[in-house]
Structure 1
């Protein structure tokens, strides 16, 4: 089946995978060293091993290690969610935010500030996650208004709901300055100021979402063949879409609640990996566990040194990276249709 559709064998190139893991480990160590108070790589490593009251150890353990770990897990979550989203919609330009997840989380954060006066990042967590989950559920319900839930209807429902929620968010922030002030710092997507408690909170949701996504690789390969062939092969389309949507909700909802809506990770990583590895979703899901953290960690490190001593948020850096990639993809698809 996979040979006929142009898919490659499952096994990843071990050398390439080990190389990617090596790059990720190096970036993690660099992330521990780079910041407003720079440390040498050896000093950062010693501070990590010592875990004592020295300045280097306190900086590493209290500030940079939670930030680095959060970049790794959220980068993996967003990349994996992007692979699932593009396979589910059969659209290489699809981004997890297209389901309205980011819009639902953003509105919930604004409502928590506007109605509850909650301004701390930790206070936004449950609201952001609940808003993301509710938005994804509403998209699914809207798509099911037709007899058959196809990928096109799912995308259109997500775009329509996202536009509506963003309009409500914009209206509230326009007339409430406190809501706008809190929202504008959250919405850019940043890893700064996040602690180990936040990582512990999102970890169960991310673990569940990753498990669902990785287990769906074979089903996503079948869905890529088209609905008629998938049905002929015995795939249960409704169940497959529901599980994929649940995985996207858990991954994007938890990641967005923790660090804000970081864009383009779920778009760029699957696209690049597809060019290198082919269309087998199992290969893409496995590789995205490494490639996603590499991209987000790189963006975070670049943001720390680009305008030193200040910082540029990781979400801004990924937008600078993802924008040209998206433009190139659109132009390439346009040339292919001529």
Structure 2
């Protein structure tokens, strides 16, 4: 029996006056599991498949997110905030599989796959396999993201890191590949680094790690920490102590510090500055830059001149 014949059919005396639509959806995150997503709708008999999918659409509404509607085990549509209902079957009156009048509608979460692309692939007959679809879409997503980043870089003269910071990084061997008001991406000795503004936090990737090394606020603190961390790596590679001998200043700025997910007490904490570090070895650079401005940090590492 085909998709259409299982979903729609001619009216008969066995068809109830209304249908009970039992709706459920997949969770989008661990925290989203805290409550049930199951609910019921009552719709008039003869309601169109497209109308039922729209009425039962997920309560999580984010642009660029894709959902696939599965009605009584049959994939019928892609739904998104961007495009609404995009049917994969002909539209027509929805009928229940038995005289009870109960229809099961489940929304599968396909993450941030482009809804139009996903609809096209499913319409072409691709299986509803999230892992396989994500793997297929990944290079497309990377290309789209890179284009958007390049367009943003070209559209503004604002930059995330200031010129003093960039010059000091270049003296450490950094080659800047992309720099906008939200992102600075550079390479140091064949190792990629990325400093990215996400909401109020500046997130730092580097040293070949896929997960962040640090997340800091404000940007000025992130600038100083990145410079100290990179300069410390350079000194260690040269056989020196990673950090110069400079004590933490008594008047250092307050910082709320978390290391490897565990809060740490810092003198004068509970301030506006935040540092979330992945590794305890990176607390040293933070201690060094607290209470010092960028020019002082540059001078401490001898990065103020062309011979650094």
Give the TM-score normalised by structure 1.
0.24
Structure number having the greater helix percentage: 1
Give the greater-gyration-radius structure (CA).
Answer: 2
Structure number having the greater strand percentage: 2
Q: Which has the higher contact order (CA 8 A, sep 6+)?
A: 1
Give the TM-score normalised by structure 2.
0.25
